[in-house]
Amino acid sequence: MTKRTATTKDGKPVEYVEVPDPPAGGMKKVYFSPDKSYVVAFFHDHQASTDANRIARLDAVLGRFNPTSDPEAGEYWKRLFCWPTGVVTRPTLGVVAPAYPPGYFFETGPFKGKEKKGKWFSSPKLRGYLPDAERGDWRNYFQICILIARAIRRLHQAGLAHSDLSCNNILIDPSRGLSVVIDIDSLVVPGMFPPDVLGTPGYIAPEVLATTHLPVRDPKRQHPNARTDQHALAVLIYEYLLFRHPLKGPKIFSAKSAEEDEHLGLGEMALFIEHPTDQSNRPPGLKPTVADLGPHLADLFRRAFVNGLHAPNDRPGAIEWERALVRTWDLLHPCANAKCPSRWFVARGPKAGPCPSCGAKPPAAVPVLQLRKEVRPGQWMPDGSLVVHNGGLGLHHWHARDNVFPGEKADRTRLGYFALHQGKWLLVNEGLDTLTSPGGSRVPPGQAVELKPGAAFRLSQDPHGRLAVPGFLPN
Ligand SMILES: [Zn+2]
């Protein structure tokens, strides 16, 4: 161990500790700072130091495209991205980046000390080795997917693309429901020469894989971009929610070699294992399916892997995934079976149960609030629903009003919670200023509205305030 000093592009010294066998990825080797608060990662490719495109791209990524310097939400994005904070040019080209927070390293079990790359959790085989405490419950995977979709939505909004989105470039912490996107330095920046990255097997979009045999400059060659990120994002979400790959089924695409079979099966002949009409790649006894994830996600998975698999422009955008995941989060209900492997299921109606993971039925009918928004004076349209349970996360601004999106800037204060009291389900008001009972009287904070089937009430009298219609899903 020797303390060394690198020099940033603007001439500042950066200390790091040289070790004989540093952790290394495909592109860089990584050294910690003496206090382990940051890392210095040097590119393997020594010619990188004179690669003007790469340096210009890094400048843009650290400068004008950097969400972590956003005055309003920068601190939020620092938790979702491990964004580089500086470029070093001596001894060779590299980047300075924050060290991963301790929650992203295994605390117990056979992998103690290793980074929590997503593949440990999405691969059924690797998952089998994990201690229970590290696996997390299913609701945490929804939260992880929301954070990943939100992070990618932010990149795409800025015109950036990740280009190598995969289970290796996202760390997840299922025990706490957190994720962070890493390896930010190969982003595709608008108007700049793209990085020489193909992607990671299993996440490369079919059109990219199908044209890898063409020369890099061939106009028919497909390169990573926002549309290919959309494919990788859909694969990641599918994997984290269902713990299997959406395209790897029993179908044999080429008997010649395993390599060609995979190349075709993930490339030009790729076929969704849950394709509604062509069942040739469907594993026997497939369960749960996308339908068990509820209508919002089932629809997006069909668009991503049926229509959009070979038609990149038809793929759902990251913001659509973010929105659908948030809406599905509102449908999650705890499973009655204490030994259920998921511990949560999507109460998608018309019945609340049974839980697709373990088959348990909820012990009673499940209350649900149908949310409606006013499209014209007096005319209310369905606009989401909120499944009610004891200990739920309660009611927030984005439920009470139709013009609030639960993104990075949302006020996350809870405005009300649900409780079963003497056999009645109540919405207890905590911060709804203009909650109004079904009979038309104001319900101030500290008081409650009883949820009676069909007895609609206003969550807010604002112009964007929603109407809530209580109902019960039979168990
Ligand atoms: Zn269950």
Q: Which of 419, 421, 223 is nearest to 312 (CA)?
A: 223
Residue 338 lies in a domain: no
Q: How many CA atoms lie within 13 A of 431 on its CB side?
A: 11
Residue 335 lies in a domain: no
pLDDT tens track for 375-432: 999 999 999 999 999 877 899 999 999 999 999 999 999 999 999 999 999 999 999 9
State the total domains in the chain.
Answer: 3
Is the pLDDT assigned to residue 118 strictly greater than 90? no
Q: Residue 291 C-alpha to ligand 1 middle, in angstroms?
A: 16
Q: Compute the CA torsion angle 73, 138, 156, 97 (nearest 10 deg).
A: 60
Which of 300, 328, 356 is a domain's end point? 328
Q: What's the full length of the chain, in residues?
A: 475
| Concatenated DSSP letters of 356-414 | TTT-PPPSS-EEEEEEEEEEETTEEEEEEEEE--TT---B-HHHHBTT---STT-----
Predicted pLDDT of residue 126: 81
Say yes or no: 263 and 355 in one domain.
Answer: no
Question: Which comes out higher in pLDDT, residue 27 or 158?
Answer: 158
Which of 98, 125, 157 is a domain's end point? 98
Instruction: Give the integer Cα–Cα distance in Å for 165 and 152.
Output: 9
Residue 401 · residue 466 · CB < 8 Å: yes
The mean pLDDT of 437-464, rounded to a whole number, is 97
Which of 66, 98, 130 is a domain's end point? 98
Q: Residue 242 C-alpha to ligand 1 middle, in angstroms?
A: 14
Say yes or no: 291 and 411 in one domain.
Answer: no
Q: Residue 472 C-alpha to ligand 1 middle, in angstroms?
A: 20
Q: Which of 445, 346, 446 is nearest to 389 (CA)?
A: 346
Is the pLDDT assigned to residue 120 strictly greater than 90? no
Q: What is the CA radius of gyration of the chain?
A: 24
Say yes or no: 83 and 159 in one domain.
Answer: no
The mean pLDDT of 148-172, rounded to a whole number, is 95
pLDDT level of residue 461 (50, 70, 90 thresholds): very high
Q: Residue 232 C-alpha to ligand 1 middle, in angstroms?
A: 29
Say yes or no: 323 and 388 in one domain.
Answer: no
Is the pLDDT assigned to residue 291 strictly greater than 90? yes
The mean pLDDT of 113-124, rounded to a whole number, is 83
Among the ranges given (10-24, 85-99, 120-134, 277-291), the one the predictor scored with the smallest mean pLDDT: 120-134
Q: Residue 335 C-alpha to ligand 1 middle, in angstroms?
A: 5
Q: Residue 132 C-alpha to ligand 1 middle, in angstroms?
A: 16
Q: Residue 364 C-alpha to ligand 1 middle, in angstroms?
A: 15
Say yes or no: 52 and 199 in one domain.
Answer: no
Q: Residue 342 C-alpha to ligand 1 middle, in angstroms?
A: 6
Task: Name residues whose C-beta falls within 8 Å of residue 364's C-beta, 6 or more positions apart in sequence.
Answer: 475
Q: What share of the chain is helix, strand, coil (3-state, %, to 5)?
A: 25, 20, 50
Q: Residue 152 C-alpha to ligand 1 middle, in angstroms?
A: 31
Instruction: Give the integer Cα–Cα distance in Å for 424 and 450.
Output: 7
Task: Name residues whose C-beta falls within 8 Å of residue 361's C-beta, 6 or more positions apart in sequence.
Answer: 336, 353, 354, 355, 475
Q: Which domain holds residue 120?
A: 107-328
pLDDT level of residue 440 (50, 70, 90 thresholds): very high
Predicted pLDDT of residue 244: 94
Q: What letter does residue 168 receive in the DSSP assignment?
A: T
Say yes or no: 389 and 292 in one domain.
Answer: no
Q: Residue 143 C-alpha to ligand 1 middle, in angstroms?
A: 18
Instruction: Give the integer Cα–Cα distance in Å for 199 and 232.
Output: 9
Q: Residue 366 C-alpha to ligand 1 middle, in angstroms?
A: 15
Global confidence as pTM: 0.95
Instruction: Give the integer Cα–Cα distance in Å for 1 and 54.
Output: 30
Residue 337 lies in a domain: no
Antiparallel, parallel or unpaired: β 13-18 and 170-173: unpaired
Residue 334 lies in a domain: no
Residue 340 lies in a domain: no
- Give per-residue burial for 256-282: e unless 16+ CB within 10 Å, then b: eeeeebbbbbbbebbbbbbbeeeeebb
pLDDT tens track for 49-61: 788 888 899 999 9
Among the ranges given (12-21, 106-115, 142-151, 465-474), the one the predictor scored with the smallest mean pLDDT: 106-115
Task: Output the domain CATH number for residue 273.
Answer: 1.10.510.10
Q: Residue 127 C-alpha to ligand 1 middle, in angstroms?
A: 18
Other beta carbons within 10 Å of 93: 22
Residues with CB under 5 A from ligand 1 (ion): 335, 337, 340, 355, 357-358, 360
Q: Residue 237 C-alpha to ligand 1 middle, in angstroms?
A: 20
pLDDT tens track for 63-117: 999 999 999 999 999 999 999 999 999 999 999 999 988 888 888 777 888 888 8
- Per the listing, tokens 């066998």 go with 21
Residue 61 lies in a domain: yes
Say yes or no: 171 and 22 in one domain.
Answer: no
Burial label for 299, CB within 10 Å (0-12, 13-18, 19+), is: middle
pLDDT level of residue 41 (50, 70, 90 thresholds): very high
- Give percent above pLDDT 90 in the chain: 79
Instruction: Give the integer Cα–Cα distance in Å for 181 and 198.
Output: 18
pLDDT level of residue 1 (50, 70, 90 thresholds): confident
The mean pLDDT of 129-137, rounded to a whole number, is 83
Q: Residue 1 C-alpha to ligand 1 middle, in angstroms?
A: 50
Instruction: Give the integer Cα–Cα distance in Å for 419 and 423.
Output: 10
Q: Residue 343 C-alpha to ligand 1 middle, in angstroms?
A: 5
Residue 211 lies in a domain: yes
Task: Output the domain CATH number for residue 36.
Answer: 3.30.200
Say yes or no: 239 and 317 in one domain.
Answer: yes
pLDDT level of residue 151 (50, 70, 90 thresholds): very high
Q: Residue 353 C-alpha to ligand 1 middle, in angstroms?
A: 9
Give me the chain's average pLDDT, please. 93
Instruction: Give the integer Cα–Cα distance in Å for 32 and 42.
Output: 11
Q: Residue 413 C-alpha to ligand 1 middle, in angstroms?
A: 30
Bridge partners (DSSP) of residue 2 are 18
Predicted pLDDT of residue 186: 81
Among the ranges given (80-84, 194-198, 239-243, 365-369), the one the predictor scored with the smallest mean pLDDT: 194-198
Residue 351 lies in a domain: yes
Predicted pLDDT of residue 105: 87
- Per the listing, tokens 């490339």 go with 267
| Concatenated DSSP letters of 259-282 | HHHHHHHHTTT---TT-SS--TTP
Residue type, 116: K
SS (HEC) of 226-251: HHHHHHHHHHHHHHHHHCCCCCCCCC
Among the ranges given (16-30, 67-81, 136-150, 247-261), the one the predictor scored with the smallest mean pLDDT: 16-30
Q: Residue 327 C-alpha to ligand 1 middle, in angstroms?
A: 20
Q: What letter does residue 303 receive in the DSSP assignment?
A: I
Task: Output the domain CATH number for residue 355.
Answer: 2.60.200
Q: Residue 75 C-alpha to ligand 1 middle, in angstroms?
A: 36
Residue 468 · residue 369 · CB < 8 Å: yes
Predicted pLDDT of residue 338: 93
Say yes or no: 434 and 460 in one domain.
Answer: yes
The mean pLDDT of 128-141, rounded to a whole number, is 86
Say yes or no: 119 and 79 in one domain.
Answer: no
Say yes or no: 385 and 322 in one domain.
Answer: no
Is the pLDDT assigned to residue 26 strictly greater than 80? no
Say yes or no: 284 and 253 in one domain.
Answer: yes
Q: Which of 198, 278, 275, 266 is nearest to 235 (CA)?
A: 266
